[in-house]
Amino acid sequence: MSDNLSDRTVSGQMNVANLGCKLWAVGGGKGGIGKSLISLNLAYWLAKLKQKVVLVDADLGGANLHTLLGIRFVKHTLADYLNKRVAALDDVAIPTPISGLRLICGASDIVGLANPKYQQKQKIIKALQQLDADHLILDLGAGSNYDTLDFFLSCHYKIAVITPQPTALQNGYGFIKSALYRSITREFSNNTLLAPVIARATDQNANDPIASITDLIDAFEKVHPSNSERLQKLISDFHLYLIANMVRTAKDRKAAEIIKTVIQKYLNLEQVSLLGSISYDQQVEDSIALMKPAFMNKTNNQSSLEFYEMVYDLIKMTSPVKGNENKVHL
Ligand SMILES: Nc1ncnc2c1ncn2[C@@H]1O[C@H](COP(=O)(O)OP(=O)(O)O)[C@@H](O)[C@H]1O
Ligand SMILES: [Mg+2]
């Protein structure tokens, strides 16, 4: 298995600079499903594959990325930048033991700023995008509050992490649905004719509820036909990426397929990509218990192999491969 991995090659000098920094959001319905672990290992493998990466801890409730990286003390957090204690955002991106990977802690401070307005969040995202990096990965908190959803929606690559248990799948679906409806609400926020129509789709206590996206499109058609087209475009442009985590059985592996089908059927999302399924890994659990770095980078290990393959494919998917081919070893 390890030979197989070390034989693989990937471009080391991809010309991504002029494409700007790619923003990744890692979200999901519940806590404890592995969003932070997935963010960390995505960042780890992108860095190993010679990309410049900044990982941002945007979990309100339980910022723990530094611990997963084996870092005990954090010198700077995002608050230092927001409060102008440091001049540049680059200064709060602290180095990690992994070459090419930096970490920004305390993005929770953003949301601590007494409910940042939408424009403020956009400003923060813009500032993050100016960082000297090829990839910026936002590790989001659990749940579907507006701040989490807005950060999720601001990113180029929106990853929803799911786990195979039925309740977790339900939560995952709920998160994705909330994200889509938040996106629709924002898109038409200035339209007074459509606002009550959208409210019928999003307000659980609505008198005359609109239960599906198809019905919402129909309702738009009646009120404002040109905006019905705009709504359909928003939905068809909405690209979602799924990662199934803590997979243990063959049946578990099907969970991602099932949720994909459900999303396509009930939310009309056509562009749903399954990035991969990551096995449950006892070694990772043990490392975390010992406060050691939780990298999925062990040879002869299923989850490490899955991660490596996934990120390798992902780089090919997101970047035109140019230049030198560098070998990387697990
Ligand atoms: N693939 C995995 N293999 C083993 N344990 C995992 C895996 N993914 C997550 N875990 C366990 O779940 C816990 C929660 O993961 P975490 O990434 O902090 O979740 P979240 O960010 O969604 O709250 C981890 O501390 C770890 O014990
Ligand atoms: Mg987390």
Asked if the structure places residue 56 within a domain, the reply is: yes
Asked if the structure places residue 308 within a domain, the reply is: yes
- Residue 273 to residue 267: CA distance in whole angstroms: 15
> Which ligand 1 atom sits nearest the alpha carbon of residue 33?
22
- State the amino acid at position 135 in one-letter form: H
CA angle 105, 111, 113 (to 5 degrees): 105
The whole-angstrom distance between residue 42's C-alpha and the CA centroid of its chain comes to: 10
Asked if the structure places residue 30 within a domain, the reply is: yes
Give yes or no for residue 278 CB within 6 A of ligand 1: yes
Domain that holds residue 64: 12-164+240-260+271-318
Counting every residue written for the chain, the total comes to 330
Distance 59 CA to ligand 2 centre (A): 6
Give yes or no for residue 247 CB within 6 A of ligand 1: no
Residues in Cβ contact with 233 at an 8 Å cutoff, skipping those fewer than 6 apart: none
pLDDT in tens, the chain (330 residues): 333 333 333 332 222 333 578 999 999 988 899 999 999 999 999 999 999 999 999 876 667 889 899 888 888 888 788 778 888 888 999 999 999 999 998 765 555 554 567 777 787 888 888 899 999 999 998 888 888 899 999 999 999 999 999 899 999 999 999 999 999 999 999 999 999 999 999 998 999 999 999 999 999 999 989 999 999 999 999 999 999 999 999 999 998 899 999 999 999 999 999 999 999 999 999 999 998 999 999 888 999 999 999 999 998 888 765 544 444 555
Q: Is the dihedral of CA 186, 160, 64, 2 positive or negative?
A: negative
| pTM exceeding 0.85 | yes
Nearest CA to ligand 1 atom 15: 34
Distance 14 CA to ligand 1 centre (A): 31
Asked if the structure places residue 16 within a domain, the reply is: yes
Number of domains forming the structure of the chain = 1
Asked if the structure places residue 300 within a domain, the reply is: yes
Asked if the structure places residue 202 within a domain, the reply is: no
- Residue 157 to residue 24: CA distance in whole angstroms: 5
Asked if the structure places residue 138 within a domain, the reply is: yes
Asked if the structure places residue 212 within a domain, the reply is: no
CATH at residue 128: 3.40.50.300
Distance 63 CA to ligand 2 centre (A): 7
